[in-house]
């Protein structure tokens, strides 16, 4: 390997160039670790739901309603995160190691600043927010106890994801996978010990699940810092380097990331808007909605993992000015995403009752759960299409189209459909599930028509 004369050297090992060779091979090498990592994280979420279901539907509903609001705060993570993916992968594709390292450090600084600001802003009002979202007083009280612990660890949550994305952006997705799987495994193991008071641990109930999550994110963050500062990846960080921290980089990250942040915040706010529509059908329906979203998220997060690997590849190829290769990478990633989600759709359609039985055993809950899983499964291939295009635009540093179509999905299609079906036509909670499914299909098709124009490949960063 060519000797690096900069202050912050590339680690001393052969680095694979993903702008050459098989495209599908590059997609799989960059994405499989992310897919495995995100799948492991979602498997933890499902396991967490499994343990909480043993405490009762109220606990599941409390976490579901809190997470609806938490996603709004967590969506601000996208502002810095999306911008950082574009900048880190572009600088890495240009083989500018010092600037790549500086952008990684700038990402951590911006993430902590956002976490502290939004955490302090939301913490005092949590109880009132949960009641507004439709939580019954007992459920709201449980949600506040769980949520306050989560807010105390918000910075670790934000920065843990930057560890993953930074490693992928510097072409080291395997380490990101190992850290993600390890963090999820630790979380999964610690969860029941803290919830039920096994062995020497205190019985914390619902709060124990939050403590386990925050602890795991903190460990991931510190392990990731060790990997970067010890030079065990392709870019080595230092407390002081040839290239310093620049205010301009924060502005660039925000300008690139704000459209994606608006998109993510919009989606999260739409979850807030849809929650009262669901809550009127009772705590059991809220609990089933929480279960359905966790199960659906397994396939979705696998595609997000695929997309994150692809977004880095898009950035590498555009940085190397290999525009046709970037376009072919985009095409193949779309086909792969839709194929994976199509398979996941079939599994949910066939085995919905068996999946619900893992969490809830009563006939009422089995019926409610089977309905949501089968209705939502119809739109899975189109969700795969939408996420794939969104990550392609992220890698190009052009996030406005995804923002626009995300807004259309939530506020022009989904929420009005849900209100019309449940309030005007008096359909039960299944009307909400049908609205979610139809909106996902229509917004993905509209986004695809725009995507075919191909302007993303000409974006300069």
Among residues 442, 433, 441, 136, the alpha carbon closest in space to that of 291 is found at 433
Q: Note the pLDDT of residue 405.
A: 92
CA distance 317 to 27: 12
Mean pLDDT by 10 residues, the chain (461 residues): 40 55 83 82 83 89 90 81 83 86 91 91 89 89 93 93 88 86 90 93 93 94 94 87 78 81 80 91 92 90 85 81 85 94 96 94 93 96 94 81 90 96 93 96 96 75 56
Following CA atoms 90, 96, 100, 102 in sequence, which dihedral angle do they give, to the nearest 10 degrees? -140
CA distance 410 to 285: 21
Give the helix, strand, coil percentages of the chain, each rounded to 5. 80, 0, 20
238: alpha, beta or left, given left = phi > 0 and alpha = psi -120 to 50?
A: beta
Among residues 173, 144, 151, the alpha carbon closest in space to that of 76 is found at 151
Following CA atoms 219, 263, 278, 349 in sequence, which dihedral angle do they give, to the nearest 10 degrees? -80
Q: Note the pLDDT of residue 241.
A: 65
**DSSP secondary structure string for all residues of 82-94:** HHHHHHHHHHHHT
Q: Is the dihedral of CA 32, 35, 38, 39 positive or negative?
A: negative
Among residues 223, 129, 153, the alpha carbon closest in space to that of 185 is found at 223
Six-digit token string for 220:
């991931």
Q: Note the pLDDT of residue 74.
A: 80
Q: Note the pLDDT of residue 400.
A: 81
Which H or E element spans position 36? helix 23-55
- For Cα atoms 328, 333, 339, give the angle at the middle one, nearest 5 degrees: 135
Which H or E element spans position 432? helix 430-451
Asked if residues 103 and 162 have their Cβ atoms less than 8 Å apart, the reply is no
């Amino acid at each position: 390997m060519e000797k690096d004369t900069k202050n912050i050297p590339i680690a001393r090992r052969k680095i694979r160039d993903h702008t050459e060779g098989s495209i599908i091979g590059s997609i799989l090498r960059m994405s499989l670790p992310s897919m495995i990592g995100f799948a492991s994280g979602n498997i933890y979420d499902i396991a967490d739901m499994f343990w909480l279901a043993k405490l009762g539907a109220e606990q599941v509903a409390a976490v579901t309603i809190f997470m609806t609001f938490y996603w709004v705060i967590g969506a601000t993570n996208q502002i810095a995160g999306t911008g950082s993916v574009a900048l880190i992968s572009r600088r890495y594709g240009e083989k500018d190691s010092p600037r790549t390292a500086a952008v990684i450090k700038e990402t951590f600084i911006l993430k902590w600043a956002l976490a502290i600001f939004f955490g302090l802003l939301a913490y005092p009002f949590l109880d009132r927010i949960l009641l507004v979202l439709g939580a019954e007083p007992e459920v709201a009280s449980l949600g506040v106890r769980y949520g306050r612990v989560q807010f105390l660890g918000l910075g670790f949550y934000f920065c843990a994801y930057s560890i993953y994305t930074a490693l992928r952006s510097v072409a080291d997705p395997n380490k990101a996978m190992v850290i993600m799987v390890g963090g999820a495994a630790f979380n999964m193991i610690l969860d029941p010990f803290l919830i039920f008071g096994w062995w020497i641990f205190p019985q914390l109930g619902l709060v124990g699940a939050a403590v386990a999550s925050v602890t795991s994110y903190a460990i991931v963050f510190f392990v990731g810092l060790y990997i970067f500062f010890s030079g065990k990846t392709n870019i080595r960080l230092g407390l002081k380097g040839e290239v310093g921290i620049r205010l301009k980089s924060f502005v660039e990250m925000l300008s690139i990331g704000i459209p994606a942040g608006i998109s993510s915040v919009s989606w999260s706010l739409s979850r807030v808007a849809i929650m009262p529509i669901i809550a009127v059908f009772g705590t059991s329906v809220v609990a089933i909605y929480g279960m359905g979203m966790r199960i659906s998220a397994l396939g979705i997060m696998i595609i997000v993992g695929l997309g994150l690997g692809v977004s880095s590849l898009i950035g590498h190829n555009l940085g190397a000015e290999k525009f046709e290769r970037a376009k072919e990478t985009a095409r193949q990633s779309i086909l792969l995403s839709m194929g994976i989600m199509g398979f996941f759709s079939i599994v949910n359609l066939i085995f919905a009752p068996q999946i619900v039985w893992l969490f809830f055993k009563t006939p009422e809950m089995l019926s409610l759960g089977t309905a949501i899983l089968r209705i939502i499964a119809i739109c899975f291939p189109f969700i795969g299409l939408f996420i794939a295009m969104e990550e392609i635009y992220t890698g190009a540093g052009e996030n406005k189209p995804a923002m626009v179509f995300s807004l259309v999905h939530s506020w022009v299609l989904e929420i009005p459909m849900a209100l019309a079906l449940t309030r005007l036509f008096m359909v039960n909670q299944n009307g909400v599930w049908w609205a979610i499914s139809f909106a996902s299909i229509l917004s993905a098709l509209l986004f695809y028509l725009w995507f075919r124009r191909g302007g993303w490949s000409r974006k300069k960063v």
